[in-house]
Structure 1
Amino acid sequence: MPGQTLTPRESAILAAVERRLSNPEIASELFISVRTVESHIASLRRKLGADSRAELIAAAGERREASVRLPDTRFVGRETELAALAALVDAHRCVTLTGPGGVGKTRLALEFAARRHGDRSPIVVELEHADPDDVVPRIARALDLEAVTGADVTASVAYALASHPYLLVLDNIDRVGPAVQAAARRILRDAHDLRILGTSRTPFGDDAEHVFALEPLAVEGADAPAVTMFLDRLSAHGVPPTAGERELAARVCARLDGLPLGIELAASVSRHLGLEELAARLERDFAALDRAAPRGRHRTLETTFEWTWDLLEADEREVLCRLAALPRAFDVDLATAVTHEGAEGVLLRLLDHSMVVPLGGTPRRFRLLAVMREFVRARTDAATIREVLERHAEYHERVAAEFIAHARTDDSREAVRLSARLCPDVNAALRWALAARHPTARSLATSLAVGVEQYGSDVDSVRSISMAARDGRVRAEADARELMLLGNSIAYLDMPLVDELAERALEIADDDASRLAAHHLAGLAAAYLDRGPEALEHLAVAERLARELGDPWQLGAAHQMRGVALRGASLDDPAAAMAEFDAAMRAYAIAGDAMHVNNARFMMASVAARTGADAERAARWAAECVDYATRAGNAHELAHATLVQQTLGVPDAAAPLEELTGEFRRLGDARCLTRCLLLGADRAEGAAAVALLEEALSFADSAGDRTHQMAALTRLVEARRAQGDEMGTRLALGRLDALSGAEAAGA
């Protein structure tokens, strides 16, 4: 009843009633008379408004449920985990929620307990500040068991818990794991209907324990739970976000890896900084995530992680510091390479401590959450970080070189997947090697170049290769073949740079093999820059040398680049270009390079689609390219084929134009992105068409793509004129005049 409190003795008697003990049994347990028990029960009925013993039992359960103290904030994004936890508690007698600090283990356990799973009455015991000897007494106090001198407290606890289907929640087990293990083993032996739900960064290790690893909230998708939680907390702090701030909120949540404590802290700080400034500061570090209350290990992320850091052994800290120095995720082999042989066991212990989280994949990969990584790096000396990055670069130099040795003839899905996994790691290693002027830079750059060309690019990798190609040390040390590999891979993005590499290759070529590479690269540069006659001269030399050296792959490459030159505006001979692409396909087939066979077929389809001479055959070739790319899992080749389908207006193209445009942005293929933008402009009107043409011109300018510069400018003249924009029309005409001469502008 409101305002009524129970005395300690009344609480103990009510707990005994809940356990279905009779009055004599209660008197015996508490060493009091039956008359005293009856008197206390009468008082309990009055205070709790219970007319019968059954109502007293129900009131006891309600009081226990009410004792589960939940935060006032809304519970967001864990309904799936609640359902999974319910199934685990049904199937297993002891379940431990594990996960890194701040991931929400306690909140999930309390929510589960408060919702009273089935007939189970919750009993919550907080163990954060417990000593090993205090574990069982704390459970006893939660059960309102009176201490009796000389009694076996564990036996009393087990007896009490056996009387009813209880859910015993043991929160923050970390520091008392062995004591919890000993107590749980004995209690579960006697309390057959009991379920134990623990929370801990580290499993306590009993045979009966079933571990449920709790992950951070998802940050991807329109209704990402992490973003939903963040927006909710912002509103609770009196700073409701505007409609335009949702993207900022998603950035903040992604930076925090969806860690609920980080999201709570960020929402609290946003009152003072605003969302835009907070997002900018989080990009640098997490120092702003602090608050005055509550004090203790949840005040900041640092205090949360220190709680676990203090429990680590010396070898665990050493290995963790080295893993935190890595730029990206890692597998066991890489972890061993940057630590020491036999470190696998330490890595597994760190996983148990929730300091490292699994990512899945084969082989299994792992990472540190961004906030955890920064915490550990702050405790790692600079010399160790440099040593780890050097080992990381040397490891990937070796792995990448072994991989690309077979890249030209292996177009399997497995190879494509491995390339996608290796590419970001090699890219990170290359960027470090360039900054550190480390000798691995040249080898990493050429390996990455082959991977990008053969299995599909990404914009970050292409930019890294461009950085290497501009690096004076790399360019000075590279031979003609290596310069050719670099040039091939950045032809998507920066043709003026490819032209520079070709000049350097021609200067240093000193034997037939290097002259072949140099003339191929010079022919490629001239072809894509629409210097047709010059391209044919270089490619004639390359073809002759390829035949003399018996190199079918280089022969195919010479034919393919000749086709590129012949389709350009300066030569404009589509039939001859098609014949060269056909010859390239045959040579590539002899070399065993199925990907380049498909790439040459795509170019044939592209020429046929552009000229409109044979749309039916172009559509068939494009469909064959789609089939190949889908089987191989090659996203870049699939995008190429889809571009032909969109050019032809195929109704069931593999992807819509807008999606295709985004894909070429991701791939870093400026030339094909420009084509997509021009195609989009053809289908748009007014200001929308002008915007697409301006963007297409920008990409064509940056890539040095003269053919598409002219195409974009010609259409811009017409689009600006159609809008009545005389000044814009004159500016476009002036640029067209400067680029291609008065004749083109006059026309």
Structure 2
Amino acid sequence: MNSPIDLTSASVLHFGPYAFHLRQRLILEGDRQLRMGGRALDILQVLVERAGRVVKKEHLIALVWPTSVVEEINLRVHIAALRRALGDGENGQRYIVNVPQCGYSFVAPVQGDNAAQVVFETLQAPQHNLPARLTPVTGRDSLVGSMVRQLPLCRLMSVTGPAGVGKSTVALRAAELLLQHFRDGVWRVDLALVDDGTALFDHVLQTLNTDLATLASRHTLLLFDNCEHLRDACKTLVEKLLNAAPRLSILVTSREALQADLEIVQHLPPLSLPPSSVLDSVEETMGYSAVQLFVSRARARQQGFCLRLQDLEVVRDICRRLDGLPLAIELAAAQIDALALVGLQAQLGNCLQLQGRRTAEPRHQTLQAALDWSYQRLSEQQQRVLQRLSVFKVAFTLEAALAVLAEAHGQLIIDQLVQKSLLTVKRGEGALYYRMLNTTRLYARAKLISGDFEHRHLHFLRRSSRVSGLRLIAQLVE
């Protein structure tokens, strides 16, 4: 975890006859401003900040077009425009070179406007161990932007949410954007690989290749990914680190908040789903992030895939039944070339078994595996309550839940399931309403082997004057 020389104070970078004013986002050649588009400037900044290093094409595209599906030809067009604007190759001066089968590298010496006037070739880019992102992040721009603004000011933020909602994806995107803020880098520690909480501290220091005394002096962001199974140990660890290292910030992903000192909780909701009222317009339907993700992933699997007016109802139903969960939508879209839209819709009753990339982490290869990760970490009592609540196909009140459960400490267990992102809760019409995602309900219902919980549910509904006969039938029919 070697520290790079600090360039954060530099507002202007000089190379050749050019001055790149980072804050104003303009390039001057003497007094003359070079005309460049925003994307070209983004590409140039990424390359200059990593001068002397090869930036993979996929990584460059992901950084410059974070919310769009872009072909490599777009990148080549902008690179060519950059070279022309800079006079790359004229008078023997080279700035951007192509490394065949790999990416691009900025090869000219760069100086900052700080007092040291350090040659950038001798510097390292901001240090990190973040994995390269191969696909854009869909539907999270506003939330990621809020996180990026908050993290330099707060010291501990936890991203929480249900299985498959994209907690790691969002946290990694925010970490990418914060690379330039933290002088000593951004470092990810994947805690899914740690089973024993007693070894957690040693695992963190080993991953960072440092010791506590050294870490205490760093201006660093640590990303602790997948903390839910070590919540108590993680809480103890982050509080210890934050007390020991005054310039350290920590970003956590977990299905349950740590309940630690200084913690700010950012709950991650599913992607937005279109209402039926917009289904007469492809353009309006594409304004919803769940549909955007499905279409972008479908295009990646089936050349020429195009969302048509007659497809809108089917696509909306697919996204709705998958709860707007990015993992579930990606797994479904991966089957589009084999099943087509109608076939895919017909298979959603078995959505937990949809297969993803074999190279993905085992718990992300199917939605079943992702839910197993959560379910296996529940107590037996929590598992029973989750199973029994699966008889509710729509939102339910605490009164209804307790009537069905017949479980000691039922309200306490329900609150625990909310904290673990297995239930959601909202207030409406003067009461609290709980709801289980459809995918979670299918999973839990398959675990419910015996019992008279459906009959208890029916009995409660029959004596509730607020539920009509038609709604009763809708709730009971599978």
- What TM-score, normalized to structure 2? 0.68
AA in 1 matched with 2:470? N
Could you tell me the percent identity over the aligned residues?
A: 25
Residue equivalent to 1:313 = 379
Pick aligned residue for 1:349 from 388, 401, 416: 416
Distance 1:238 1:330 in 2: 40
Equivalence map 1:169-248=2 (5 Å)? 169-221=223-275, 222=285, 223-239=287-303, 240-243=305-308, 244-248=310-314
Residue equivalent to 1:103 = 165
| Structure 2 residue matching 1:186: 3-state secondary structure | helix
Residue equivalent to 2:356 = 291
Pick aligned residue for 1:388 from 450, 453, 461: 453
Residue equivalent to 1:163 = 218
Residue equivalent to 2:463 = 398
Query: Which protein, 1 or 2, shows the higher relative CO under an 8 Å CA cutoff with sep ≥ 6?
Result: 2
Task: Considering fraction of residues, name the structure with more helix.
Answer: 1
State the Cα distance separating 1:251 from its structure 2 match.
1.7
| CA-atom RMSD in angstroms | 3.1
Q: 1:323 to 1:53 in 2, by over 3 A?
A: farther
State the Cα distance separating 1:50 from its structure 2 match.
8.8
Task: Considering fraction of residues, name the structure with more strand.
Answer: 2
| Structure 1 residue matching 2:447: 3-state secondary structure | coil
AA in 2 matched with 1:389? E
State the Cα distance separating 1:328 from its structure 2 match.
1.6
| Structure 2 residue matching 1:326: 3-state secondary structure | coil
Equivalence map 1:120-159=2 (5 Å)? 120=182, 121-130=185-194, 131-145=196-210, 153=211, 155-156=212-213, 159=214
Cα deviations by residue, 1:437-484 (Å, 9 ceiling, x for unpaired): xxxxxxxxxxxxxxxxxxxxxxxxxxxxxxxxxxxxxxxxxxxxxxxx
| Structure 1 residue matching 2:351: 3-state secondary structure | coil
Q: 1:70 to 1:292 in 2, by over 3 A?
A: closer
| Structure 2 residue matching 1:305: 3-state secondary structure | helix
Whether 1:374 and 2:374 are equivalent positions in the alignment is no
Distance 1:181 1:94 in 2: 11
| Structure 2 residue matching 1:241: 3-state secondary structure | coil
Cα deviations by residue, 1:314-352 (Å, 9 ceiling, x for unpaired): 110011001112222112111111113531110111111
| Structure 1 residue matching 2:157: 3-state secondary structure | strand
State the Cα distance separating 1:53 from its structure 2 match.
9.7
State the Cα distance separating 1:378 from its structure 2 match.
0.8
State the Cα distance separating 1:388 from its structure 2 match.
2.0
Q: 1:319 to 1:55 in 2, by over 3 A?
A: farther
AA in 2 matched with 1:172? N
Q: 1:431 to 1:248 in 2, by over 3 A?
A: closer
AA in 2 matched with 1:94? L
Q: 1:374 to 1:431 in 2, by over 3 A?
A: closer
State the Cα distance separating 1:287 from its structure 2 match.
5.1
State the Cα distance separating 1:220 from its structure 2 match.
1.7
Distance 1:111 1:46 in 2: 24
AA in 2 matched with 1:189? N
- Select between 262-271 and 120-129 the one with higher mean Cα deviation: 120-129
Distance 1:292 1:167 in 2: 30
Residue equivalent to 2:3 = 15
Equivalence map 1:405-416=2 (5 Å)? none
Equivalence map 1:705-720=2 (5 Å)? none
Distance 1:76 1:180 in 2: 29
Q: 1:338 to 1:266 in 2, by over 3 A?
A: same
Residue equivalent to 2:81 = none
State the Cα distance separating 1:288 from its structure 2 match.
5.3
Q: 1:86 to 1:291 in 2, by over 3 A?
A: closer
Q: Contact 2:402/2:410 (CA < 8 Å) preserved in 1? A: yes
Q: Contact 2:110/2:121 (CA < 8 Å) preserved in 1? A: no
Q: 1:59 to 1:312 in 2, by over 3 A?
A: farther
Whether 1:272 and 2:260 are equivalent positions in the alignment is no
Q: 1:331 to 1:85 in 2, by over 3 A?
A: farther
Unaligned runs of 5+ in 1: 1-11, 21-44, 146-152, 404-421, 437-747
Equivalence map 1:343-492=2 (5 Å)? 343-361=410-428, 362-381=430-449, 383-384=450-451, 387-400=452-465, 422-423=467-468, 427-430=470-473
Q: Contact 2:159/2:254 (CA < 8 Å) preserved in 1? A: yes
State the Cα distance separating 1:297 from its structure 2 match.
0.4
State the Cα distance separating 1:101 from its structure 2 match.
1.0
Q: 1:59 to 1:198 in 2, by over 3 A?
A: farther
Pick aligned residue for 1:85 from 139, 143, 147: 147
Q: Contact 2:218/2:248 (CA < 8 Å) preserved in 1? A: no
Distance 2:190 2:119 in 1: 29
Residue equivalent to 1:329 = 395
Distance 2:321 2:130 in 1: 32
Cα deviations by residue, 1:64-122 (Å, 9 ceiling, x for unpaired): 2xx32243112110112113323442553211111111100000000001011762232
Q: Contact 2:126/2:180 (CA < 8 Å) preserved in 1? A: no
Q: Contact 1:70/1:110 (CA < 8 Å) preserved in 2? A: no
Distance 1:82 1:394 in 2: 46
Equivalence map 1:511-590=2 (5 Å)? none
Unaligned runs of 5+ in 2: 9-50, 54-106, 276-284
AA in 1 matched with 2:192? E
Q: 1:57 to 1:99 in 2, by over 3 A?
A: farther
Distance 2:143 2:381 in 1: 33
